[in-house]
Structure 1
Amino acid sequence: MEGSDGGDARPRATGRGLLIVRNAASGTSVIRADPTATFSERLPEAVVHELVEGESLDEVVAAAMESDAPPAVLGIYGGDGSVSRMAHLARRYDRPLLAMPGGTFNHFVRALGLDDVDIAIDAFAAGSLVEVGVAEAIADDDEPITVLNVVSVGAYPALIEERERRSSLGKWLGGVAATWSALRRTEPLTIARGGQRARVWSVFVSAGRNDPERVATMQRQEPDASVLDVRIHHARGSRVRALASLAFGKRTAAVLRAVRLFPRDADIERLVVPELDLRVTPQPGHPSVFVHDGELVDRDPAGFRLRCRVVSDALRVYAPR
């Protein structure tokens, strides 16, 4: 669903009424042009705030909303985690979102055709708003979390947890060390759904329909999200297959299929549902975690309840029509 943010409340194309929060720590593994000059030239009246170490995006936005001139639009330059958090705040404060690619993968903004900062600013200047659906994740009795791409439990969160433990090695070496450790340590976890239990390597829950050929549905595929697309990888194969399932590039997956390392189709269960309710129990001594949009969340070591639901037309984002 698309529309225009007309009326006197519409910020001017110069950026008046726009708050942009920039997460400089995002996307450090890729070479990316500094957007400072672009912001100054195209959005001279916008307020641009760069996050510093230890500063919370929630606190920055809350302070801005409590000021004498609260922003009419919330903007974010960062990776998927930062964009997801700002989307949550945009929903909380009922503000449209200007999302700009400043991370490594930029899954959500790419799904909306926002391949660079100028395209996003063009949409903002034109008042081109698109309503998109999101997923919400609720862990135990916590508040719902806005999810733009995917929620996952199992092999992928365990790999991220291993990588964060080795962050002092750098992203590349830490990733290699984490993968090697995961090849030796990854174990299936148990999920309970609708009175049935299963041992699985992983579960991926994506906002909206996704590529049927993939197990790790990391990247959102469509702006609209009226359903959850769930992939359950049952633990009937080796650890190598469990990690091979995390290949989300088509070429990599094709190579792994050719050498028969990719999970068998019979081991993957797909559900297309409006909501999902799981009880997640890891093996003793293994991490009790889940990941949403690349952000790792720790839970009780004994396990946790994870509920996911779709919310259609939940967020207004500046994007090309």
Structure 2
Amino acid sequence: MPIPECPPLPVPDIDPAAALLFVINAASGRHDADVTRQVIETALLAAGRTGELLFAPPDDLVRVAQRAARMATERRTAVIAVGGDGTINTVAQAAHAQGCALGVMPQGTFNYFARTHAIPTDPAAAAQALLRGAPVAIQVGLINDRVFLVNASVGLYPQLLEDREAYKARFGRSRLVAFGAGLVTLLGRHRQLRLRIELGANAREITTPTLFVGNNRLQLEQVGLSQASALDEGCIAAVMLRPIGALAMLGLIWRGAMGTLGEADTVESFKFQRMRVKPRRAWGRRTVKVAFDGEVSRMSMPLQFQVSPQPLYLLKSRAEPAVSDAEQGHT
């Protein structure tokens, strides 16, 4: 079902003399904050630009991001997200709502959004790149009224993220810890979701441990899903699993690691622009845990997944292609 036509917000007009607004997650230690400040100030000085650094504790991040986005619109400047996927999502939500430009300095573990848009994961290089960038319209997804840049999902994936954060708190932040936590979750017992999904006039009932919606080419391509091309068509991709046991799940993990997940007969994927998801029975669950860009929250059913009619304006070079894993040294 096509998204209703509506005029997009105009491309933000940025005044190079206006101070950029950096929203920084202050959850890291004092040393990391000092390093971040030094990197930003050095890049600003070299470019002859000015900036305002807004350090926000996690429980105040939403308010600070919203205030910064309003100020960016009023001052004809951009708001810059400095942090991991959750921080970037929060600032992107505010920037999208205001129609102002967003810059990104990634500090996460996987950085799918940054890598897809050729944003360096090195802080100094990222700061220099955004200072050279111009606002470019990019596609974002919505789950109800919440923006997601990379993915949104219900079922197994939110549980995986909660377990991963618990393991990181205990063993430290690294890709190895994240992979190990995910392995433990995926091989455990899974609660099945009984859902009704509606795609325009078509509806079907499904039973699945997880429903995953992706808006990131790199992530979809890494695991071998052909629906990555849906993003070129103004769509997003849905992935769901048939109910399977631990041994079959182990096989899927292997396929994902090898980039052949799309070949598994227990995996179904399809592209769409708008999808409504609700409990199969009228008296089913009223709220559900939802994961979006690495964060987990509860949302009321039904859920509406869709391509946002309004783009997000990201500071990036129009000429630079997406950066591959090899180019950034990832495995």
The TM-score, its normalising length taken from structure 1, stands at 0.73
SS at match of 1:193: strand
Amino acid at match of 2:152: V
CA separation of 1:177 and 1:213: change in aligned 2, threshold 3 A? closer
Q: Give the structure 2 partner of residue 155 of structure 1.
A: 156
* Residue in 2 that maps onto 1:73: 78
The answer on whether the counterparts of 1:228 and 1:272 sit within 8 Å (CA) in structure 2 is: yes
Question: Per-residue CA shift, 1:180-213, capped at 9, x if unaligned?
Answer: 4653332222121234211112221112667467
Aligned length: 289
Aligned-pair CA distance for 1:161: 3.0
Indicate which of 303, 306, 321 corresponds to 1:306.
303
Select 1:187's aligned residue among 187, 191, 204: 191
What's the counterpart of residue 241 of structure 1? 248
- Deviation of 1:299 (Å): 4.3
Counterparts of 2:169 and 2:65, CA distance in 1: 30
Q: Which SS does the other structure have where 2:302 is aligned?
A: strand
SS class of match (2:109): coil
Residue 110 of structure 2: aligned partner? 105
Partner of residue 212, structure 2:
204
Of the candidates 290, 313, 316, which is equivalent to residue 313 of structure 2? 316
AA aligned to 2:140 is V
Describe the shift of the 1:73–1:228 C-alpha distance in structure 2 as closer, same or farther (beyond 3 A). Answer: same
Match of 1:156, SS?
helix
1:231-280: CA deviations, max 9, x gaps?
A: 12111x213434664679x6x235xx7xxxx7962222121111111125
1:71 Cα deviation (Å)?
6.8
Q: Distance in 2 between matches of 1:84 and 1:216?
A: 24
Give the aligned partner of residue 101 of structure 2: 96
Q: Which residue of 2 aligns with 1:290?
A: 290
Instruction: Verify the 8 A CA contact 2:40 2:124 in the aligned structure 1.
Output: no
Amino acid at match of 2:195: I
Change (3 A) 1:93 1:225: farther
User: Is this contact kept in 2: 1:133–1:314, CA < 8 A?
Assistant: yes
* Cα separation, partners in 2 of 1:165 and 1:110, compared to 1, 3 Å: closer
The change in CA–CA distance for 1:109 and 1:178 in structure 2 (over 3 A counts) is closer
Residues 25 and 225 (structure 1 numbering): CA distance in 2 closer, same or farther, change over 3 Å? farther
Structure 1 counterpart of 2:276: 277
Code of the residue aligned with 1:23 in structure 2: it is N
Match for residue 20 of structure 1 among 19, 22, 46? 22
SS in 2 for 1:185: coil
Work out whether residues 138 and 313 of structure 2, in 8 Å CA contact, stay in contact via their aligned partners in 1.
yes
CA distance in 1, matches of 2:215, 2:108: 20
What is the CA deviation profile of residues 58-88 of structure 1, one whole-angstrom value per residue up to 9, with x for unaligned ones?
2113444469x75721001111111111111
* 6, 10, 15: which one aligns with 2:15: 10
Identity of aligned residues (%): 21
The CA deviation at 1:167 is 6.6
Residues of 2 paired with 1:212 and 1:41: CA distance?
Answer: 36
Cα 1:168–1:91, aligned 2, differ >3 Å: closer, same or farther? closer
Aligned partners of 1:117, 1:209: CA distance in 2, in Å? Answer: 23
Unaligned stretches of 5+ in structure 1?
Answer: 139-143
Deviation at 1:292, TM superposition (A): 0.6
Distance in 2, Cα, partners of 1:280 & 1:171: 37
The runs of 5 or more residues in structure 2 that have no matched partner are 1-9, 319-331
Cα distance in 1, alignment partners of residues 233 and 288 from structure 2: 28
Q: Does 1:267 align with 2:303?
A: no
Change (3 A) 1:181 1:98: closer
TM-score, normalised relative to structure 2: 0.71
RMSD: 4.0
Q: Give the partner amino acid of 1:38.
A: V
Rounded Cα–Cα distance in structure 2 between residues aligned with 1:61 and 1:151: 21
